[in-house]
Structures are given as C-alpha cells and as structure tokens.
Amino acid sequence: MSTLEIKDLHVSIETEQGIKPILKGVSLTINTGETHAIMGPNGSGKSTLASTIAGHPRYTVDSGSITLDGENVLEMSVDERARAGLFLAMQYPVEIPGVTMTNFLRTAKTAIDGEAPKLRTWTKDVKAAMAQLRIEPEFAERNVNEGFSGGEKKRHEILQLELLKPKFAVLDETDSGLDVDALKVVSEGVNRAIDAGGLGTLLITHYTRILRYIKPQFVHVFVDGTIAEQGGAELADRLEEEGYDRYLVAETATA
C-alpha cells in the first residue's frame, strides 16, 4: 500500500494585484485503494490543490508538505512526480501540434516504466483501452488533443490514466463539460482503473453528478482554501440537496 500525505499545505499564486494565498492549511491523507472526492464552490482552491500536487510552476508552496510514502514530493520536478506514480487528469488538456497520440503515449509509457513497452502487447493494450472509452481508432494518428472536442479530450485523459497505471490519480473536474453519455463512458474508465487495484483516487468536482457513477469512501468539502467538512459518501448526498450555501453563509457570519 502507498500513501499520499498532504500536511498543512499553504499555497499562493502571483497575480497582478500581488501575491494571493489560495490554500490556507490543507491536510489530507490518501491510501491506495481509496477514493476521495473533493467538492466545493468555485474559487475554493480545489484545482489549486490538484495543480500543486502535480507541480505546476504557477503555484508557490509557502509551507506544509506533500509526501508519497515518505518521499518529499515538493522537491521533485513535474516529470519526477509522474514517474513516482502521480497522475493528474487535467481540467483543460492542451493541444500539442506535430506529436501524434501514438508517439505521445509510447513516450510517456516508456518514461514512466523506465523501459519501452513491448510493441505487440502495447499496441493491443492501446487499441483495447481506446475501444472501451469509445475513442475512434483514427485518433491514434492525430496530434495530441488537436481539434478534439471537450469530451474527446477528457476521454483521452482517462485513456492515459488506464495505460500509465499510476499509484495516485487526481482527476481535476474531469466531469465538467461532459454530456451524460460521455460522463458514463469516462466514469466507467475511472472505475476500471480503480477496480484494477492499487490506485488511490482524488476526484475533484464541482457537481455531485459524477458521484452517482464513481462512489467515494471519503468526501471533503473545500471552502476558501481549507477543508470545511469531511465525511463519508452520505455527505455528497447532502450536498446534492443543499448545495454549498450552508458553508458560504457560515463564512459570511464569521467574517
């Protein structure tokens, strides 16, 4: 079993108005085999947490720690984190002209595993994974995310999740912008990765909709850069009914 441990994390970004703190002391422990949902209103810091775990250069960690089985993640470069077993499914995957999906996937797999995948089984694996996510075969020869629709981009993120087999997957609003059919396909993919075993999942979402398909054991509610409430799957049901107003009112009252 592996453990991803986030302790009292403070993160800020530089804006035109100066330095703006976003995360104000977040602590969270995820073990492989667990699925955690992070929910919260816009601007509460959910995506900042995702990007900080992956090592996006825009975010500055002011204090606190992130460790993976005791190893200091914050000292690792972005690619070292990925090779250590962290995966971020991006909210807005970027286009990379001139690099085909085939080439990209093979290069990434080689980097993660430290050796080139065996050609025959790899090609078969990629084809099977694409078929399960209902990605047309010709996408393999297209450039990474180039001209993909929003739903196609998200399906390709989950394709990478299934092929790269990380220890921990952070899914940053993978559900946003998907219609119900696409949401089902994507959720099935995530569930396959979870069922394959050995994966810890951090599911970041604004809506409860995806939680009908992917069942978390733990739910954390983010408000203004801290965890306002934690609970089991039942907390998600309550949020579906009540929304985030409760937390926002409390915040106003204390302000």
Does residue 79 touch other proteins according to CB under 8 A? Answer: yes
Indicate the residue among 106 and 220 with the shorter CB distance to other proteins.
Answer: 106
Query: Residue from 13, 61, 74, 108 that binds other proteins (CB under 8 A)?
Result: 108
Total binding residues for other proteins by CB under 8 A? 31
Does residue 57 touch other proteins according to CB under 8 A? Answer: yes
Q: CA dihedral defined by 226, 90, 183, 133, rounded to 10 degrees? A: -150
What's CA 190's distance to the chain center, in Å? Answer: 11
Does residue 200 touch other proteins according to CB under 8 A? Answer: no
Rounded-to-integer distance, Cα 67 and Cα 75, Å: 10
Applying CB under 8 A, the span of 26-34, 36-44, 106-114, 232-240 interacting with other proteins comes to 106-114
CB of 143 to other proteins, least distance (A): 7
Indicate the residue among 93 and 198 with the shorter CB distance to other proteins.
Answer: 93
Rounded-to-integer distance, Cα 78 and Cα 96, Å: 18
Does residue 248 touch other proteins according to CB under 8 A? Answer: no
Helical H segments across 74-118, by residue range: 78-84, 101-113
Element (H, E) at 34: none
Does residue 56 touch other proteins according to CB under 8 A? Answer: yes
User: What amino acid occupies position 132?
Assistant: Q
Rounded-to-integer distance, Cα 187 and Cα 43, Å: 24
Tokens encoding 26: 């977040």
Residues binding other proteins (CB under 8 A): 54-57, 77-79, 81-83, 87-88, 90, 93-100, 103-104, 107-108, 111-112, 143-144, 160, 164
